[in-house]
Amino acid sequence: MSIQHLDAGARMSQATIHAGTVYTAGQVASDASADAAGQTRQILAAIDALLERAGTSREHLLSATIWVADMADFDAMNSAWDAWVTPGRPPVRACVEARLAKPEWKVEIMVTAALPE
C-alpha cells in the first residue's frame, strides 16, 4: 500500500494520495483581508495547484467540505464556487457555519478528487 504526502509538516500534509484518490487539507486564504468571495477565489486557486501537483484537477472532484465563518457570506462564497466548479461535474458538497482557526478567515475548503485513469 503506497501513500504519498504533499507538503508534509509536523502536524499535517497539504494533500495525501492513496489508492487513486487525492485528499486535501482544509485550505484558507493567503490574504485574509479579502472579502468572502475573494478568499474563496484564493482558496480555489490553491486547490487547483494542489490537485495539479497530485496529478488530477477539479474535473475529477468527488467531494467538498466548506466551512463559512458567517452564513451571511454564503452567497458570496457560492458566487466564487459556481464560477470555478466544472459545469455538469459538481462534487457532492457540505457547507456549514463554523468558527475558523483565525477570526480573519471567512472560508475554509477541503476537497477529495480521483486521479484520472
- The per-residue pLDDT for range 71-98, each reduced to its tens digit, is 999 999 999 999 999 999 999 999 999 9
> pLDDT tens digits, residue range 56-67?
999 999 999 999
Q: Give the torsion through C-alpha atoms of 82, 59, 109, 24, to 10 deg.
A: 180
Whole-angstrom Cα distance, residue 56 to residue 32?
27
pTM surpassing 0.95?
A: yes
Question: Residue holding cell 504519498?
Answer: 4
Cell matching residue 52: 495539479
Q: What is the pLDDT of residue 70?
A: 98
Residue 28 near residue 38, CB atoms below 8 Å = no
CA torsion sign, 29 to 93 to 15 to 103? Answer: positive
